[in-house]
Amino acid sequence: MADPAPEGGSGPRTFGLKDVFTCVNLLGGVFAIIFCILGNIRFAAYAFLLGFLLGDVLDGLVARLTHTGNRFGKEFDAISDHLAQCIAPAFIVFVGYRNVPLPSAITSLIPQASFYLAAALASLLVITGSIRHARAGVAPVDFPMAYMGLPRTASAFIIVSFLNSTLYIQVPGGRWIGVVLLVVLSVAHILPLPFRTHRGRPLKPYVKMLVFSFFATTIITLIFFRDFVFDVTFFWLMGYTVTSWIPMEPQERRAFFARAKEWAEEVRRAR
């Protein structure tokens, strides 16, 4: 039961404006799943993208501007991110692969093999993303400059964008490249590798320009060149995944790996 409001004023709010934007992110995941049930992964990808741009990008900013950050908002954001950036992308993966053509030698031995492949890929994405979330819950990383393991936002953008791209998916063997990509991204969730964040030391000017370019080109393409919006987001997020460690100084990388060893021990000791 909450404490009563002080006389002559109102008590602290649990749910505030910031949480409205978190709801937008959450609904992006919900509608992505609904569109997947209807078999439309293109609309599911749009729901995922809009939930991120209009919700996840803004909720933290609104919390800082309005000085309304609280534990509820942190937990609500984590739950919303798990649905929108882990569960919903797994649905998109399943629908994207459930009818993929397989060699007759495989389908003759394993009827509905594409169904099992799609289920396995979706499950791998959910399992590793959930492990990442749970480990951070029992032992927060608290390293100021880098995520411990690939963020689920990045992996979700990469695989959702790849499956809905106009250009990349048309590469010969594109669906199978996507399988390898998804496995690598899933494993990267739980590896102690550094992926630069916006926190800690201020970003270098060229990094700020790249971040601005990601948002600007994504929004412009979404409005004027919609057929290629997921090619653009794939390009940027794949680039982040491969190169985000570069802006870190050598001593910062050494500090990260030292902290990674301590953190791994904290996870093992967690009860």
User: What per-residue confidence (pLDDT) applies to 202?
Assistant: 81
User: What per-residue confidence (pLDDT) applies to 223?
Assistant: 93
Tens digits of residue pLDDT in 63-115: 888 888 888 888 999 999 999 999 999 999 999 999 888 888 888 788 888 99
The pTM score is 0.87
Query: In terms of Cα–Cα distance, which of 141, 129, 144 is closest to 187?
Result: 129
Provide the sign of the torsion angle of the four alpha carbons 85, 91, 96, 98, taken in this order: positive
Pick out the chain residues at pLDDT < 70: 1-12, 271
Q: Where are the beta strands (DSSP E) in 72-198?
A: 146-148, 194-196
User: What per-residue confidence (pLDDT) applies to 10?
Assistant: 52
Query: In terms of Cα–Cα distance, which of 186, 90, 179, 183 is closest to 132?
Result: 186
User: What per-residue confidence (pLDDT) applies to 242?
Assistant: 93
User: What per-residue confidence (pLDDT) applies to 69?
Assistant: 82
User: What per-residue confidence (pLDDT) applies to 1?
Assistant: 36
Q: What are the residue boundaries of the structural domains of the chain, listed by start? A: 17-269
CA distances from 1 to 4, 5, 7, 108, 128 (A): 9, 12, 18, 61, 36
Q: Which CATH code of 3.40.1000, 1.10.1060, 1.20.120, 1.10.3860 fits the domain covering 17-269? A: 1.20.120
Tokens of 106: 């495989």
**Which residues, 6+ apart, have CB-to-CB distance to 97 below 8 Å?**
114, 117, 118, 121, 175, 178, 179
